[in-house]
C-alpha cells in the first residue's frame, strides 16, 4: 500500500493509505489539505506498521515517525 501524511486544517498529521495502483499525485489532488508532510510505502511486518520509500511525483519520502503516526490513527 501507499500512504501520504497531510497536515490537516488543525495542524495535525493525518495519514491517508491507498492502493498501489493509484498514483501519489492522483491521491494528492483528491485531498483538500494544503500541506504534504511525507509519502511512501506502508506494510505490515510481524504485526508492526513499517513505512519506507518515497514518492518521486511529490518529491517526498518516508520520515522516521510515520509508522507511529499511522499506528496511532489505527488504534
Per-residue pLDDT of the chain (75 residues; tens, 9 = 90+): 999 999 999 999 999 999 999 999 999 999 988 899 999 999 999 999 999 999 999 999 999 999 999 999 998
Tell me the C-alpha distance between 38 and 57, whole Å: 12
Those residues whose C-beta lies under 8 Å from the C-beta of residue 35, and which sit 6 or more positions away, are: 6, 7
The whole-model pTM stands at 0.94
Q: How many CA atoms lie within 13 A of 75 on its CB side?
A: 8
Tell me the C-alpha distance between 58 and 75, whole Å: 28
CB 54 within 8 A of CB 39: yes
Amino acid at each position: 500500500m501507499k500512504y501520504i501524511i497531510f497536515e490537516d486544517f488543525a495542524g495535525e498529521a493525518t495519514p491517508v493509505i491507498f492502493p498501489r495502483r493509484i498514483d501519489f499525485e492522483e491521491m494528492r489532488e483528491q485531498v483538500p489539505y494544503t500541506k504534504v508532510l511525507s509519502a511512501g510505502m506502508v506494510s505490515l511486518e510481524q504485526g508492526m506498521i513499517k513505512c519506507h520509500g518515497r514518492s518521486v511525483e511529490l518529491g517526498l519520502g518516508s520520515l522516521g515517525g510515520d509508522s507511529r503516526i499511522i499506528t496511532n490513527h489505527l488504534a
